[in-house]
Chain A
């Protein structure tokens, strides 16, 4: 065997192109949904706030919010084993508390029912009443659990992420002219345009795509690859203790001693953390002689998503212990998670990541469309595989946005006090998404693209309107009140509507061009237009 280096290179490139095409196609539809809902999840707390328009954010200090929450908890559940207080920040605007009851001493007794989380007014500690909704949490969960039973959704998402990583690497090897074509984007040239758009969206944001795919995989690494821990730790809990430190687990002493004020503990912790605020307060055995207060530091402003904690005595306020600084491996994992979640990012960087996420969505979408654009025969393709891909593309790319808009519309249109409304909102998304995809099969492909994209655009355009009619926080009032969250939300959904409308318009124009070209040609002669 004495092959020319050029031949070898060509063969490598061809096999990589094959891998790229098929990895990308098989995982593409799910990846598109993961990219789009994941991109929306950059604004997880903001979406939740939009979906509970009854609540207005208040900014109070961490100490003030904690004291207010503790007053509420002491009045309502003084005998619980643990209180979790999630402090408000400038993005969430409300305090959330979760209580865990003391386990029944009788081992035969059923475990106490898990109580739902309660939202509290940060300033007064009074429980807040708002419509039931999954909020931004829904897109976030769907992004990696795909609405499937645990753990299958996570496994499927993981497989797709591995395919994505494979597609990125094989795509870079396949792409012969990364630098020569760096700035190239030509419109109106049929499948050449799809290739340009796919290349541009992939190459120009390549660091982002590689980062988000790899860190996403790493996030669930222990689930896909449990063997290193299994081989080294008889009990995998020991690994968690070694890597992240032990949680306070002292049993109650049975003597009641009032809980020391937590404000001074927060002051001491913030001093120790150079001014960083706590994010969560965990009170164990409140009102007991063995009470402890654990303060978890907010990871805002640092790349590592896991921040340290300090434990105080709940009776004397004395500092008992603090988490060890993380080892290099734990810190690496924390930074990977942090990069993926982008909680460290301020508004500007978060918007940048959001836009790059949309570029990633476009990369997957253009790749999917390119598969058909390259194979489309002027006389029409009869084979089942081609037509299946065509239909799935419409279902994933053009119908999912309508589903997401339906989820948000349902939030405004279902009565605010309706029982089970949170699940109905989620159902609205999937019925709309899959229902529209199923209906679109009844239409010719080109018409189906135009019509589903138009419906998606309309659904997004309706959001500001429905919001203005059903709440007192419409666009004009939000502008007048300086409520920039609601203003940005309306602006963002209108921009989405504009993008989808532009896509529908271009699909319409391409279709019209195609129509003219085929009538010009004699019957039976293949049309030359792509």
Chain B
């Protein structure tokens, strides 16, 4: 399972959606990033999620799995946005945090062995902390 790719793609699409005027939450609730930055950030995250998947399970199956994962992430986001738009965007924060927790370890190890070593790796928490700090700027309060 590549849950981190799903979460990265979720955050990526959330960024892309927030960049659109129609979906942007009302102003004055803490969105510090411009639509342009959100769009670029979303695209970069999406590209990064692709690289993670390709690196992990190879170009053939990786491409298939990536397209499937981002489709599911987008559907999940749109369903949540149609129901609780703010919560849908806020969820991008834990999504990317968890992805950061998973990614650095599991991408360097063979598939499936990532979860077992979680917590033994000091680097991961550092990265995750950084990601959380970074994302509180983006998150609507």
Using CB atoms and an 8 Å cutoff, list the residues of chain A in contact with chain B: 180, 182-187, 200-201, 204-208, 303, 335, 339, 344-349, 352-353, 355-356, 359
Contacts and interface: CB of A to CB of B under 8 A. Distances in A.
Interface stretch (B26-34, B61-69, B99-107): B61-69
B113 to A, nearest CB: 14
Contact of A207 (B17, B60, B67, B77): B67
B78 A208 contact: no
Listed residue (B1, B68, B72, B81) with the most chain A CB atoms within 10 angstroms of its CB: B68
B67 A183 contact: no
9 contacts: A182-B17, A183-B20, A183-B81, A184-B22, A200-B78, A339-B64, A347-B1, A348-B2, A355-B75
Contact of B81 (A185, A206, A345, A349): A185
A201 B76 CA distance: 11
A200 B1 CA distance: 25
A353 B68 contact: yes
A273 B23 CA distance: 52
B61 A344 contact: yes
Contacts of B16: 182-183
Contact of A352 (B20, B69, B74, B81): B69
Contacts of B23: 183
Contacts of A339: 64
Nearest to B69: A352
B71 A207 contact: yes
Contacts of B61: 303, 344
- Contact residues of B: prevailing secondary structure: helix
Contacts of B117: none
A185 B72 contact: no
Contacts of B77: 183
B17 A359 contact: no
B82 A186 contact: yes
A347 B17 CA distance: 30
B45 to A, nearest CB: 16
A183 B78 contact: yes
Nearest to A196: B82
B37 interface: no
A356 B2 CA distance: 16
Given A204-B74, A208-B67, A353-B68, 19 more contacts: A182-B16, A182-B17, A182-B74, A183-B13, A183-B16, A185-B78, A185-B82, A204-B71, A204-B75, A206-B71, A207-B67, A303-B60, A303-B64, A344-B61, A349-B64, A352-B65, A352-B69, A355-B72, A359-B71
Contacts of A184: 22, 78
Interface string B58-99: 001100110111011011011101110000000000000000
A352 B68 contact: yes
Contacts of A205: 71, 75
Listed residue (B22, B75, B77) with the most chain A CB atoms within 10 angstroms of its CB: B75
A208 B71 contact: yes
Nearest to B60: A303
A206 B1 CA distance: 22
B102 to A, nearest CB: 13
Contacts of A186: 82
Given A184-B22, A303-B61, A339-B64, A356 B78 contact: no
Given A185-B79, A186-B82, A303-B60, A356 B68 contact: yes
Contacts of B2: 348
Nearest to A349: B65
A208 to B, nearest CB: 6
A349 B68 contact: yes
Contacts of B74: 182-183, 204
Nearest to A344: B61
Contacts of A187: 82-83
A339 B64 CA distance: 8
10 tightest A-B contacts by CB? A348-B1, A185-B82, A183-B17, A204-B74, A205-B71, A352-B68, A207-B67, A204-B75, A303-B60, A185-B78
A204 B68 contact: no
A305 to B, nearest CB: 13
A187 B13 CA distance: 21
Contacts of B83: 187
Contact of B75 (A200, A344, A346, A348): A200
B58 to A, nearest CB: 10
Nearest to A206: B71
Nearest to B18: A183
Contacts of B20: 180, 183
Contacts of B72: 352, 355-356
Contacts of A344: 61
Contacts of A359: 71, 75
A206 B16 CA distance: 18
Nearest to B82: A185
Interface in B1-44: 1-2, 13, 16-17, 20, 22-23
